[in-house]
Amino acid sequence: MDIFFYEAFEEEAHALRRRLGGELTYAMTPKTIQETDHDVPPARIISIRTQSVVPPSWAGTLDAILSRTTGYDHLLALKPTLSQPVALGYLEEYSTRAVAEHAILMAHALLRKLPQQMRQFGEFNRDGLTGSECAGKNLLVVGVGRIGGEIVGLAKGMGFIVKGVDLVPTKHGVEYVSPEEGIPWADVIVCAMNLTEENRGYFSYEHLLNAKRGAIFVNIARGEMSPLLDLEMLLDEQILGGVGLDVFEHEGSIAVELRLHEHPPSDRVMRLHRMMKHYNVLFTPHNAFNTLEAVERKAEMTVQQIHHFRQHTTFLWKV
């Protein structure tokens, strides 16, 4: 077999099959590596997303690992654990617009109290459902890269007053501020940073304690930057007025546990369930990238990476 795909959800699998045709031999599963019974790699090339844990012992029987993601922090973390060199690849930009739209979707939904509206529909009860309009609200984008820059443009189009935080303030038309200035100013805070060792736990209880009371926090980047325990405390103390997460701390283990309905649930999953009881919380399953357009781009670039590696023994976009 030429390549084995892990974490291939239904729509992505269909798009990959159309692009791959009959030229290569392959197989797919929606499961992570740890959800399968694979003791050894099923192919010399494997493809994963962010939730699979690659056993270090596989290094000697693998030629390459291709992550079907634009972020590759998980590959950087994997690299030192491998006993032998393995080619590591990722995908160049394919979902910037999709992820940016999802960030705005979450912010808008929480401003308009959409989760609470849906809960109260059964009684057609409008009490407590008065939300806020986007126009004139302050939105802070922390991490103004490709996705952050797209969020800035969309937010301005909806009437938000937008400022940005970034170590390298390069985007034209963005008013940059320090975190110390921006967090107390913002009605909505959006995390769009790349994950590094320096920014793990960045949105801690102590950091967000300085937020404007009732501010909304949205994370569409990496869950390791916003510890769930800290967010739960900020919600319980009514410091934050809403939390929208598409990414989660310890996401790989949480995702597997939720899919398998393991009992008794771990402390992490119990915390998620507690947080979801809040009327002002919106969780999605790391799905911000998932549009028809982005999935097609993703499949095309995946096949491009595979062909490039088979021809040159290196990836076009490599770690």
- pLDDT tens digits, 112-139: 999 999 999 999 999 999 999 999 999 9
pLDDT tens figures, 243-260: 999 999 999 999 999 999
Q: Is 304 in the same domain as 276?
A: no
Identify whether 272 is part of a domain. Answer: yes
Q: Mean pLDDT throughout 270-290? A: 97
Position 23 scores a pLDDT of 85
Q: Are residues 302 and 211 in the same domain?
A: no
pLDDT, position 252: 92
Domain count, the chain: 2
| Residue 272 and residue 152 in one domain | yes
* Other Cβ atoms within 10 Å of 14 Cβ, number: 13
**Does 319 map to a domain?**
no
Q: Do 144 and 232 lie in a common domain? A: yes
Indicate if the pLDDT at residue 72 is higher than 90.
yes
Looking at residue 83, its pLDDT comes to: 84
In a domain, 279, yes or no: yes
The pLDDT of 39-53, averaged and rounded, is 97
Asked whether residue 307 is domain-assigned, the answer is: yes
In a domain, 302, yes or no: yes
Whether 165 and 189 share a structural domain:
yes
Predicted pLDDT at 130: 98
Q: How confident is the model at residue 66 (pLDDT cuts 50, 70, 90)?
A: very high
In a domain, 318, yes or no: no
pLDDT tens digits, residue range 10-38?
999 999 999 998 889 999 999 999 999 99
Q: What residue numbers bound the domain in which 34 lies?
A: 3-94+292-312
* Same domain? 226 vs 88: no
C-alpha dist (Å) from residue 212 to 10, 138, 186, 301: 41, 11, 7, 42
Residues 104 and 25 in one domain: no
The confidence score (pLDDT) of residue 167 equals: 94
Considering the domain boundaries, does residue 198 fall inside one? Answer: yes
Domain membership flag for residue 207: yes
- 17 & 139 share domain: no
Tell me, what CATH number does 17's domain have?
A: 3.40.50.720
Whether residues 100 and 230 share a domain: the answer is yes
**pLDDT value of position 263:** 87
Q: Do 50 and 190 belong to one domain? A: no
pLDDT (average), residues 1-10: 97
- Whether residues 235 and 246 share a domain: the answer is yes
Cα separation values, 282 from 158, 202, 239, 272, Å = 20, 20, 17, 11
pLDDT at 108: 98
| C-alpha–C-alpha distance, residues 72 and 88, integer Å | 9
Please tell me whether residues 30 and 146 are part of one structural domain.
no
